[in-house]
A and B are shown apart, each in its own frame.
Chain A
Amino acid sequence: MMRVFIRKLTIILLLFLSISFPASYFLSKHFNTNSKQQWVLDMQGENADYAVLGSSRVLNMIDIHTLDQAYGKKGINLATSGSGYGENYLILSKFIERNTISELFLNTDEFCFNSVRSYNYPFHEYEFLNQFPYPYYRPIFDDFLPAWKCLLWDLIPFSKFCEFNDLFTFSKSNDLAQVYSTTGGSILLGDSLSERKLSLHKYSQTELDNRDKKYFIKILALCHSRKIKITLITTPLYCGDHHKVNPEFENYIQHITDSAKIRYITFNDLIDCRDSTFFKDNTHTNSKGSIEYSKNLGQILKAQ
């Protein structure tokens, strides 16, 4: 009787597994459809003059419409919150497959080069699960996730959705997509003086992460191969009366910009970083600061 029991249990488990394959295909159409990443990945036939790429420090701090006006070109904000270079590379590679840009402004700061320490969730695999295993994605996933996870997702595609089952949206809302379309992908932060808590940012002295370096170089190489002109930018940080940068980061950027002849624009002269009314918190400007910064950045770019 034990044998019959085990046989029947196996049959049920196999049935469960076999149904999971078509179920996975169906579910991938309804998975996490309202995110910024999805908005970018869904985009097709977009011809922008430039794009900005990076984390929330670009998503929230560059107002595309202001920058468009000041620079005299049409741009798009591809930045996503809390993203490191691995994720940035993934977004850019998929985006330029179906869209065109001739110039890229890539955010660079010590946070991007240490995504594991800087961000709560250094690699948002769930934002790209419905496209896994897209050829570009696999090596990036392998770099950031445990090997067993990717193997499990390969063998049983349904399993990749189990961990993030709260992200299914069966009634697709176009609200977010409309917001991003209206703002060109930028999301400016509001400001409330009473809520604002600024303190001097303590710059980390930790080493730059090799994975972030690897994907930073890959972004540069991808732009080079597609003849996309690249400019590195560092968005403002609240400085108070003094301003310090992680020396390893500074040296590395210096080395890259010199050797690859890449333009680098840091925030030093673009906004008064001691003026707290420009900031929402230590690392993000509020809408007033973002507009000011974007305007100044556009003017510098135009002048050059």
Chain B
Amino acid sequence: MTYAVFVSFFPLLVAGPIERAWHLLPQLKKERRFDYAIAVDGLRQILWGLFKKVVIADTCAKYVNTIFHDPGLYSGSTLLAGAILFAFQIYCDFSGYSDIAIGTAKLFGIDLLRNFAFPYFSRDIAEFWRRWHISLTTWFRDYLYIPLGGSRGGTARKIRNTFIIFLVSGLWHGANWTFIAWGLIHAIYFLPLLLLNKNRNNIGTIAEGRILPTLREAAAMTLTFALTTFAWIFFRSPNLHAAFAYIQGMANHSLFSMPQLLPKRLIAILFVFILLEWQSRSKKHALQFSSAKITWPIRYAFYLIIGYSIVFYQNYHNPSEFIYFQF
């Protein structure tokens, strides 16, 4: 019975974090009692997940779909904006689902594996992969990378294993060359760090104990975001030809013009979103604030603002599916 619950636990179905038996089975076996703090935290995480999906991901999707549908119509700066918006869309869409799944499980007293840890605040690609889709990355590490020999053996084997891991990771998303290219690009990004033995340089939280990052950290973070955004172009494009055409359209003098589509309200929301995620980067999600530090009127006002934003941005007649439902 416990095993049946493990394989059919509803928050995990479709696109939830890839849960391990060693982590979930013991929790299902033991008696659980209602825990106020965990339930409140779960509800906050659900609320934040909904906000990310409905307000940010779906709003970004409107622009992203328009731009990627016919990139030839747009200037380089608009295409760049489209790629950046897709980076936010896929993060908020997928991590939003994970937050909803993890928060729902918390209401049942179940602690699921973490799936995202603010990946866009990573200082290098290795750190990005420790923070993005964690449950899949660790699954690949345990069931593919280590059985292949992992980092043991010579340099050639390390390189081979890295490429296999990233190519399989791309292929996991679907049988399309664009996903293979996406995996390959990440393998190429990862390789220098591996060869220089710098892939575990950035383990802790960025700017821990400080409000702002150092200039070096900010530059590293921006570069990592730029690299991942570039790779997302391949992930989002329908085929390799379209991806190259998109990049070609971006790389010309029109890159320095004003974008044709400038969603001012969305940019303002993204700015607030980044600030909220930044201040929570050492926590599990952006709404995991201490009740002792923030008084209840402010907390409640915050919940209401987020709640109304979700109602205001939801699309009743044309709801959009979670991107990862297709994988």
Contact = CB atoms under 8 A, between A and B. Distances in A.
B43 A165 contact: no
B307 A166 contact: no
B258 interface: no
B317 A1 contact: no
A16 B308 CA distance: 8
Chain B residues touching A, majority SS: helix
Interface in B293-322: 300, 303-304, 307-308, 311-317
Given A16-B304, A16-B307, A1 B36 contact: yes
Contacts of B313: 165
Contacts of B308: 16, 19, 23
Interface in B270-310: 300, 303-304, 307-308
B303 A12 contact: yes
A114 B156 CA distance: 74
Contacts of B36: 1-2, 4-5
Interface residues of B, number: 18
B35 interface: yes
A12 B300 contact: yes
A86 B226 CA distance: 55
B40 interface: yes
B39 interface: yes
A9 interface: yes
A15 B43 contact: no
B143 interface: no
A16 B304 CA distance: 6
Contacts of A260: none
Contacts of A23: 308
A193 interface: no
B327 interface: no
A252 to B, nearest CB: 34
Given A12-B304, A16-B307, A19-B304, A5 B39 contact: yes
B304 A165 contact: no
Contact of A15 (B40, B304, B315): B304
B311 A2 contact: no
Contacts of B34: 1-2, 5
B311 A9 contact: no
Given A1-B34, A15-B300, A165 B311 contact: yes
Contacts of B307: 16
Nearest to A4: B36
A165 B307 CA distance: 14
B238 to A, nearest CB: 26
Interface string A209-253: 000000000000000000000000000000000000000000000
A251 to B, nearest CB: 38
A147 interface: no
A175 interface: no
Interface string A1-36: 110110001011001100100010000000000000
Interface in A160-180: 162-166, 168
Nearest to B315: A166
A163 B43 contact: no
Contacts of B39: 5
A12 B315 CA distance: 23
Contacts of B317: 163
Interface in A96-124: none
Nearest to B37: A1
B38 to A, nearest CB: 10
Interface string A55-84: 000000000000000000000000000000
Nearest to A168: B312
Nearest to A9: B43
Contacts of B303: 12
A24 to B, nearest CB: 11
Contacts of A1: 34-36
Contact of B316 (A2, A5, A9, A162): A162
A246 B291 CA distance: 70
A9 to B, nearest CB: 7
A184 to B, nearest CB: 32
Interface string A136-164: 00000000000000000000000000111
Given A165-B311, A166-B315, A168-B312, 20 more contacts: A1-B36, A2-B34, A4-B36, A5-B36, A5-B40, A11-B300, A12-B303, A12-B304, A15-B300, A16-B304, A16-B307, A16-B308, A19-B308, A23-B308, A162-B311, A162-B316, A163-B316, A163-B317, A165-B312, A165-B313
Interface of B: 34-36, 39-40, 43, 300, 303-304, 307-308, 311-317
10 contacts: A1-B35, A2-B34, A5-B40, A11-B300, A12-B300, A16-B308, A19-B304, A162-B316, A165-B312, A165-B314
Instruction: List the 4 shortest-distance A-B pairs measured between CB atoms, nearest first.
Output: A1-B36, A163-B316, A2-B34, A162-B311
